[in-house]
Amino acid sequence: MLKKTIVLALTLYYTGTLQAQGNASPGVDHSYKPMTLKLDEKGSKFIRLITWHQMWVSRTSNNPGTLDINGNVQKTATDMSVRRSRFLIQAQVSPRFMIISHWGINNQSFLNGGSAGTLGTGSSASGQGGKRPQLYIHDAWTEFAVKPGKLHLGTGLHYWNGVSRFSSHSTLNFMTLDAPIFNWYNIETTDQFARQLGIYAKGQLGRLDYRLHLNKPFAFGSALSAVNTPAAVNVLNENWSTGGYFNYMFWDKESNVLPFFVGTYLGTKRVLNVGAGWYSHKGATASKASTTAATVQHTQRNLGLDIYMDMPLNKKKGTALNAYSVFYNADYGNNYLRNIGILNLHGSTQPVSSNPDASWAGGGNAQPTIGTGNIWYTQLGYLLPKLKNGTAFMPYATYTYKKFDRIGKSSGQVDLGLNYLINGHNAKITLQYSSRPVYKTVAGNPSRNGSKGEMTLQTQIFL
């Protein structure tokens, strides 16, 4: 699979190079006026609409023992999917008041993301059918500027998260294909696609950018009385959570009008930031050492420390460098661990009795993603000189180190990718190969059993 990825990347590169060489005239004008409705003559009051689509074509080497929708062993899977389809409205109704409404869908494949009951009674696949996915709210919050620029207060379903830069990452301008997922430390448990209901404060004091929140996490998990495992699990509770992220900007200042941190500016800004943050939720999980032992509740604690750099190298040629590194320490309770597979087609696996190598993490592309332990993630990208038609290529690589208490031994994995920037982030094609660790079950515990890979091609357009 890696060889096929390299061949496709080189083909994409040389196709763009030949196209540029054959076009001596300037590139096509892709510029446009943002979709904005002015509410006053100066334009300080406005309504702005942003919309975007991210489409994926993927080929996955499935985890050992994966079963397809008919219950047959499947070694590889291919799919066409909608990773994201979104709309966002920013309404600045006065210099002091702002309203954000953000809605859309995520993760629709031929099998997942839509209405229940559409697979048929003979199907062995779990989950919902692919048709008619639910359109739902991502963000719905209002904000008041107490002291413009320095202190803003807001309430609602919001994305002003703590822990790290990537915990509030924009999905419009990833340097890579996507986020590593563990940056969203509650993803689809006590949050709604990385959002919680709450109150936040944000602002900038000189070069210090900050965001703080007091949230009411969504009810998720088992009743406390039903917990019977030594490994911690999510339990129902009514406790509030706290979180925050502080970010010091050494070079150019970044905007914090919206919570979405930029992945890469493609050389348009010179940014060097160091940040640190946390998240805490009392009683979020619980465990029980034995059937006769008392149930113990745990406070979820997430800590993050990161550094981000994005800078132009040669403005005339258009080259730039992007680098980001983050260290996460998480405590969800004793041996807590979640296996996640993005747009996972087939989560079912053969039983260990019939296949000793059957995946411990589940079928498809599931892997240990979030849990008690440590994660170190680093990415590096280089924006190549612009071609004559105005397009550009940006190759990149990432490395992830994970060490979860539940597994014991550490693991490493890489992503290798190439962006073809037709019009910056507004129109781009991304090709990425991703590796992941695979585990089998030995005496009830996960044991490393090699690696598998996945290749994904994405097209993105946003206006």
Among 95, 56, 98, 92, which Cα is nearest to 77's? Answer: 56
pTM: 0.92
At 3 the pLDDT is: 53
- Say which CATH class 2-21+35-462 falls into: mainly beta
Q: Is-contact 372 404, C-beta < 8 A?
A: yes
Q: Mean pLDDT throughout 446-462? A: 97
User: What would the two tokens of residue 463 be?
Assistant: 């206006």
**Average pLDDT value for residue range 326-338:** 98
Q: Are 170 and 221 in contact (CB under 8 A)?
A: no
pLDDT in tens, 226-264: 999 999 999 999 999 999 999 999 999 999 999 999 999
Distance CA 213, CA 201 (A): 6
DSSP state of 266: T
What is the reported pLDDT for 418? 98
Output b/e per residue, 331-347; b: 16+ Cβ within 10 A: bbbbbbbbbbbbbbbbb
Instruction: Report the pLDDT value the prediction gives residue 121, as an integer from 0 to 100.
Output: 40
Q: Are 341 and 298 contacting, i.e. CB atoms less than 8 angstroms apart?
A: no
For residue 419, give the nearest of 462, 455, 459, 463 by alpha carbon. Answer: 459
The position carrying tokens 């990415």 is 379
> What confidence tens digit (pLDDT) does each residue in 45-54 have?
999 999 999 9
The one-letter code for the residue type at 185 is Y
Beta strands of 316-426 (E only): which ranges? Answer: 319-331, 337-340, 367-371, 373-383, 392-404, 411-421
Residue 285 pLDDT exceeds 80? yes
Give tens-digit pLDDT for 147-202: 999 999 999 999 999 999 999 999 999 999 999 999 999 999 999 999 999 999 99
The fraction of the chain above a pLDDT of 90, given in percent, is: 84
Q: What is the mean pLDDT of residues 132-157?
A: 96
For the chain, domain boundaries: 2-21+35-462
390: left (phi over 0), alpha (psi -120 to 50) or beta: left
Given a cut of 90, whether residue 429 has pLDDT beyond it is: yes
Share above pLDDT 70 across residues of the chain, in percent, rounded to a whole number: 91
pLDDT averaged over every residue in the chain:
92
Nearest to 182 by CA among 372, 333, 344: 372
Checking DSSP bridges between strand 233-234 and strand 337-340, what pairing results, if any? unpaired
